[in-house]
Amino acid sequence: MRIRVGSRPLTVLLVALLTVGAGFVPGAAGAAECTQTDPLERHYCELGGAASFLGAPVGAPFAVAGGRAQDYAGGTISWSPATGAHEVHGAVLGTWRALGRESSALGFPVTDEQGTPDGRGRYNDFERGSISFTPATGAHEVRGAIWGTWNALGRESSALGYPITDERGTPDGVGRYSNFEHGTIYFTPRTGAHEVRGAIWARYGSLGWERSALGYPITDERGTPDGVGRYSNFEHGTIYFTPRTGAHEVRGAIWARYGSLGWERSALGYPVTDEYGVPGGRQSDFEHGFIRFDAATGATRVALLDPYDRSGTWVTRFRFSREYAGASPPITPASVDAMADAGVDTIYLQAAADEPQYPDLISPDLLGQFLVRAHARGMQVVGWYLPHFTDVTADLRRLRAIADFRADGHAFDAVAVDIEDRTVADVDLRNARLVDLSRRLYDALPGVTLGAIVLPPVVTDVISPSYWPRFPWQQLAGLYQVWLPMAYWSNRTDATWSDAYRYTRENITRLRANLGEPCAAVATIGGFGTTETATDYGGMVRAAAETGAVGVSVFDWTTTLADTWPVVRDYDVRGPC
């Protein structure tokens, strides 16, 4: 008989089928209505009886705790008053049987086997869990609190995908977990059940899973308020992820300090390293700085690197101040605009002098004008000072004055110490005073990122070790946050060291080795003089980038040729670690 689509006879036929065949099951075509009073027999009939995938019965029905069951050649039907009768077969049955069937933690089935929405897999739900199967993953159970979380996330349609293990106990005996294609759900009575997945999951695994310093997850993965990143919280820390920075952990005391600052919304931004060891403590690096933990004191210190990163120029007292340059200095606050136009990001401005007649700052009104104009152009200003170490208390007073200086609400963005004067002839006394000043400065300015302007290690280690013997690198290592080697290749006559690239690279490498910190933040200084070419500065920039220096600068503004700045201005490197 031909039936035309849209014809009334077709409509009548469909209504009849729906009315009469409400219990229709594929495979049971043409079967009589199933009216058996035994629920096992009735469901077997509904599935198609011996002609179905179950095949013929195997043995007689048997009692199980709380219900009854019947095995078949191709599966089983299990029944309880609470759940009704449901079949389990194939790979799902194999796993359920291995777990203990009705006596397992899963209990009785509450569905027949069904296909998943994505068409990849099959599953049965049970009283307290599920067993899911795909040819690629096999059949695995998910149950209890872990099952609850998996369900809430979207089951196999979630970012986790299908289970690839049954639930297992953790080695510490505290928790339980199930692994999925793209992550894990952990459970402890203390923390509840939470997922870890994707790049965060991979990082968590590399750290040692729940046995790591992070402990167990206490949240599922979440998006950050700025919409850029993702994170999972753990008992003792957090793992963050962004496409730009990758996945990195923050934990312990550093984690607590990071949180007090506002997490990823703080000036530090997202983490770019895991926590790692440094002399005397631990450190985590972020997009715009780092937090260091002092193991001896339990204190943490925040360093913001923005004042030192990218490209900079130098202005000495002899170039701008009335005290040393007279009434018409070659550099004025108006020069800031030319610096900004050239691509300068940071001005290193000598704000004080170690002279008895100038016990505080020099030309403070001009200092204020430099700050206001530089900040208006989006530039940073680092105030620096060259101590003679003859009066450490006076040195500290001047450095504190730089940090405390304000002009119309503007302040220096950081403070740096120029460590090169040898007025104190006794080397051990000079070293002792240097360390003393540095320690006192560190304690006095806990919120300031301190820079150390230092002699180039190629000079102190190779060319002239007698120039400043026994320089106390490692005693200073934890007291300054940024290191600025005066790597002026123009001072070198030997062909080996007059090459800007080689001299810059070797100084940065030796500096970090002397500090015992392979990840030390370095902002190298190049130059100086009108004979240095753009090619020279290109070599400096290449060496700095290859070694992960956070910044480059040129000494000084008045002697730097205009064609230098296009080479230097776009420098943007985060660091070596």
Last residue of a domain, one of 274, 304, 334: 304
Q: Give per-10-residue mean pLDDT for the chain (577 aa).
A: 29 28 37 87 96 97 97 98 98 98 98 97 98 98 98 97 98 98 98 98 98 98 98 98 98 98 98 96 97 97 97 98 96 98 98 96 98 98 98 98 98 98 98 98 98 97 96 97 96 89 98 97 92 93 97 96 93 88
In terms of Cβ atoms closer than 10 Å to its own Cβ (0-12, 13-18, 19+), residue 68 is middle
Do both 77 and 158 map to the same domain? yes
Do both 324 and 277 map to the same domain? no
Do both 336 and 295 map to the same domain? no
Residue 249 within any structural domain of the chain: yes
Residue 443 within any structural domain of the chain: yes
What's 456's domain CATH number? 3.20.20.80
Last residue of a domain, one of 252, 281, 304: 304
Residue 295's domain spans which residues? Answer: 195-304
pLDDT at 577: 84
Residue 573 within any structural domain of the chain: no
pLDDT at 193: 98
pLDDT at 5: 29
pLDDT at 493: 84
Do both 339 and 366 map to the same domain? yes
Dist CA 282 CA 130 (whole Å): 44
Dist CA 222 CA 463 (whole Å): 55
Do both 284 and 386 map to the same domain? no
Dist CA 149 CA 143 (whole Å): 10
Last residue of a domain, one of 248, 274, 304: 304
Could you tell me whether strands 551-555 and 521-527 are parallel, antiparallel, or unpaired per DSSP bridges? parallel
Domain count, the chain: 3
Tell me the CB-side half-sphere exposure of residue 329, using CA atoms within 13 A: 21
Do both 288 and 221 map to the same domain? yes
Q: Kindly report each contact of residues 508-512 with a partner whose C-beta sits within 8 Å and lies 24 or more positions away, as own/partner.
A: 508/543, 508/544, 508/547, 508/549, 509/547, 510/457, 510/458, 510/461, 511/454, 511/457, 511/483, 511/485, 512/576
Do both 456 and 317 map to the same domain? yes
What tokens were used for 92? 């799902």
What tokens were used for 570? 């776009």
pLDDT at 32: 65
Do both 165 and 227 map to the same domain? no
Do both 297 and 321 map to the same domain? no
pLDDT at 338: 98
Closest CA to 140 of 71, 173, 91: 91
Residue 420 within any structural domain of the chain: yes
Do both 185 and 199 map to the same domain? no
Do both 403 and 474 map to the same domain? yes
Residue 30 within any structural domain of the chain: no
pLDDT at 18: 27
pLDDT at 12: 27
Residue 179 within any structural domain of the chain: yes
Do both 163 and 207 map to the same domain? no
